[in-house]
C-alpha cells in the first residue's frame, strides 16, 4: 500500500467503527473502488473483482460486508453520487471529488455465523405462531406477508389483498412455487438434500422489483428459518445452491447478499431477531420484529415470511417421516 492521504486534501473525515469480515477480506486487496448505488443512510461500492462493500451510518447496523461509521461523525449524504471513485491506502478510504475520508483505524471486525444462533428453544413453535399473527395484522398489502395463508394456518379474513395488478400477479407466482415446493420432501429417503426442491425455489431468484427483490429476500428467509429450526446442513447446502444459481440473474448487490448467505452470514439485526425466537419474551421480540420489518420497502416483511416458510418445511418434513414410521409399524 502507498503512503496515507495528505491531510490538506481532505475536506471531511468519517470514523469507521465496525467492519464486516467479508469487507475486511476484500478492502485491502483492491486499491480502487467505485460507488454504484446511494441511499439516505448508506452507499455501495464495487472493485474490479466484483466485490461489494456497503458503507453506512451507525443505525443501519453491522453486516458481513458493511463498514459502519461512528454516530458522532457527520454523514456526507449529499456529497456521494454513483460512479464516484474511491481509493484505499493504509486503513483509509478516500471518496474523491468531495474529498471525504473514511478512517478505518481501530475498526472492530464483526463476524457472526448463522450457525451460532440458538435453535429448538422451548417456546419455538409458540413464538412462530405469534410472528405469523403479526405478519397477518401488520404486514403491508404489497409484501409477501399476503401469501402466508398458502402455507401457514392463519385467519385469512384479516389478510389485506393488494389492489395492485402487478403485486397480485407477483403474489400469484409465489403461491404457485410454494404449492409445488410443499409437495416435495426437504430430504430424500437416503438423507440427501432434495435438488428438485431447490430448483423449484430458484424460480424465485430475482423475482420482484427493488434493490433486493422479494424473491431474494424470501429465499434468504428460508435459509435463516432452516438454521433456526436446527437444519444447519440443509440450510447451508440450500444457500450455496441459491448463490450458484443467482449468478447472472440478479444485481451485483443482491448477489453479494447471496454470497454472504452462502457463507452463513447475514446482518446483525437478523441474528438478534432469530435468537429472540423461542424465548417467549414478546416485548423484546416485537421490538426486533418492528426493526426488521423496516428494512427496504417490503424486504423485511418478505424475509420474515421466508423465515416462516423455512420453519413450515421442517415441520412438514418431520410430519411426513412420523407418518411413514407409523405406517411401517402398522
In 3D space, the residue among 120, 121, 122, 146 whose CA is nearest the CA of residue 132 turns out to be 146
Strand, helix or coil for residue 154: coil
Q: pLDDT tens digit string along 172-197?
A: 999 999 999 999 999 898 889 999 99
The pLDDT score that the predictor gives to residue 297 is 84
Contact call for residues 312 and 152 (beta carbons, < 8 A):
yes
pLDDT of 25 above 50: yes
Nine-digit cell string for 60: 443501519
Residues 70, 123 contacting (CB under 8 angstroms): no
Where along the chain do its domains lie? 7-110, 114-329
| Mean pLDDT, residues 233-255 | 95
**Which of 144, 138, 154, 127 minimizes the C-alpha distance to 229?**
127
Q: For residues 198 and 182, what is the distance between their CA atoms, to the nearest angstrom? A: 12
3-state secondary structure at position 97: coil
pLDDT category, 296, cuts 50, 70, 90? confident
Q: For the stretch 81-115, what's the b/e string if a residue is b when 16 or more beta carbons lie within 10 angstroms of its beta carbon?
A: eeebebebeebbbbbeeebbbbbbeebeebebbbe
User: What percentage of residues in the chain have a pLDDT greater than 90?
Assistant: 72
Amino acid 322: pLDDT: 47
- Quote the radius of gyration of the chain (alpha carbons, Å): 21
The greatest distance separating any two alpha carbons of the chain, rounded to the nearest whole angstrom, comes to 83
Amino acid at each position: 500500500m502507498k503512503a496515507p492521504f495528505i491531510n490538506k486534501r481532505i475536506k471531511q473525515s468519517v470514523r469507521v467503527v465496525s467492519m464486516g469480515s467479508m469487507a475486511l477480506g476484500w478492502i485491502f486487496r483492491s486499491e480502487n473502488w467505485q460507488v454504484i448505488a446511494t441511499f439516505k443512510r448508506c452507499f455501495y461500492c464495487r472493485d474490479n473483482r466484483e466485490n461489494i462493500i456497503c458503507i453506512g451510518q451507525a443505525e443501519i447496523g453491522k453486516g458481513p460486508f458493511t463498514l459502519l461509521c461512528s454516530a458522532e461523525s457527520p454523514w456526507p449524504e449529499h456529497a456521494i453520487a454513483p460512479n464516484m471513485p474511491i481509493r484505499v491506502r493504509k486503513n483509509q478510504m478516500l471518496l474523491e471529488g468531495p474529498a471525504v475520508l473514511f478512517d478505518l483505524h481501530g475498526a472492530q471486525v464483526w463476524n457472526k455465523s448463522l450457525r451460532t444462533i440458538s435453535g429448538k428453544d422451548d417456546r419455538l413453535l409458540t413464538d412462530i405462531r405469534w410472528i405469523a399473527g403479526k405478519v397477518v395484522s401488520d404486514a403491508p398489502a404489497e409484501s409477501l406477508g399476503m401469501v402466508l395463508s398458502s402455507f401457514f394456518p392463519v385467519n385469512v379474513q384479516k389478510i389485506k389483498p393488494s389492489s395492485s395488478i402487478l403485486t397480485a400477479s407477483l403474489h400469484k407466482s409465489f403461491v404457485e412455487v410454494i404449492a409445488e415446493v410443499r409437495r416435495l420432501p426437504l430430504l430424500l429417503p437416503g438423507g440427501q438434500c432434495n435438488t428438485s426442491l431447490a430448483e423449484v425455489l430458484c424460480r424465485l431468484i430475482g423475482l420482484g422489483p427493488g434493490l433486493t427483490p422479494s424473491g431474494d429476500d424470501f429465499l434468504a428467509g428460508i435459509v435463516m428459518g432452516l438454521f433456526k429450526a436446527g437444519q444447519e446442513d440443509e440450510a447451508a447446502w440450500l444457500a450455496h445452491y441459491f448463490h450458484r444459481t443467482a449468478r447472472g440473474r440478479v444485481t451485483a448487490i443482491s448477489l453479494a447478499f447471496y454470497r454472504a448467505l452462502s457463507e452463513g452470514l447475514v446482518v446483525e439485526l437478523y441474528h438478534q431477531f432469530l435468537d429472540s425466537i423461542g424465548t417467549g419474551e414478546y416485548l423484546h421480540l416485537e421490538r426486533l420484529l418492528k426493526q426488521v420489518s423496516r428494512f427496504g420497502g417490503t424486504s423485511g416483511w418478505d424475509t420474515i415470511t421466508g423465515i416462516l416458510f423455512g420453519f413450515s418445511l421442517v415441520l412438514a418434513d418431520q410430519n411426513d417421516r412420523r407418518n411413514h414410521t407409523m405406517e411401517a409399524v402398522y
